[in-house]
Amino acid sequence: MRPEFDSFFFANRKNQTHIFVFSLFLGFIGVDRFALGQPVLGILKLLTLGGFLVWALIDLFLVGGSARRKNLNIAREYISQQSGELMA
C-alpha cells in the first residue's frame, strides 16, 4: 500500500517552496491562492492587487501553513478512499 500512497501523494501534493515563491513574486495577483486550490481567494487578491499589497505581505507568512494543511488533507483523502474500498 505504501507505493500507491507515495504515487498518489506526490502527484497531488503542494510544494511549500513553490507556493512561497509564487507568493513572493506573484502573490499580489493571487497566483499563490490559485495554486493552493482556493480560486475565490485568488480572484479577490487579483481584483484588489493583493489587498493593496497588505494581504500579499501577510500571505508570505501564511501560505506555508496553508500548503501543509492542503497536503494533510490530500493524505487524509487517500486514506479515507482506501478504508472505504476495504469496507466495500
All cell numbers assigned to 31: 497566483
Query: 8, 24 in Cβ contact below 8 A?
Result: no
pTM: 0.86
Q: What average pLDDT score do residues 28-32 get?
A: 96
pLDDT band at 64 (very low <50, low <70, confident <90, very high): very high
Rounded Cα distance between 31 and 77, Å, is 24
Q: What average pLDDT score do residues 68-84 get?
A: 92
Whether the predicted pLDDT of 17 surpasses 90: yes
Sign of the dihedral through C-alpha 88, 8, 29, 17? positive
Number of Cβ atoms within 10 Å of the Cβ of 40:
9
pLDDT at 88: 61
Q: Where are the domains of the chain?
A: 2-87
